[in-house]
Amino acid sequence: MAEPGTRAAEAAEDRSWRLRHLPVLLVATAVLGALAAVVGGVTGGADAALGAAVGVAVTAVSYTLTTVVLAWADARDPQLVLPFGVGLYVAKFSLLIALMIGVASTGWAGLIPLCLGIAVGVAVWTGVHVWWLTTVHARRVHN
């Protein structure tokens, strides 16, 4: 058994741990985006296919940006995580609101599939992240 604090020291030395999960999440999101486009296309045509795929992409870009920025902030100084996290949260939700208002004002038929793509993207990204943390990452930490 390791002494207390050993894991923290190992984690501090291993700077790549902050982004180690990102490739798995991006692959899962790419598969989801393709599936969303197919389902959207079959159920609602080209606008629905585009809307669903863009919705998943919006989620992927948002979460990837958060992951990279917070990893950068944490690597510099852990005290930067909160201000960068809050600032990023406000900026992302402001952009999302502007995007949704802009799309809604056009009357585009892909609006509902866009919203569904965002919602499913959030659920899948979160689910895959939880899976990764409880299986892959947990095995690394405990071995």
Residue 134 has pLDDT above 60, yes or no: yes
Residue 4 has pLDDT above 60, yes or no: no
User: pTM of whole model > 0.85?
Assistant: no
Q: What is the pLDDT of residue 19?
A: 86
Q: What is the pLDDT of residue 104?
A: 96
Q: What is the pLDDT of residue 3?
A: 54
Q: What are the residue ranges spanned by the domains of the chain?
A: 27-136
Segment 14-70, tens digit of pLDDT: 566 788 889 999 999 999 999 999 999 999 999 999 999 999 999 999 999 999 999
Contacts of 133 (CB under 8 A, 6+ apart): 21
Segment 79-118, tens digit of pLDDT: 999 999 999 999 999 999 999 999 999 999 999 999 999 9
- ∠ CA 34-40-46, nearest 5°, is 100
Q: In the chain, how long is the greatest CA-to-CA distance?
A: 61
In this structure, the number of other CB atoms found within 10 A of the CB of residue 13 comes to 8
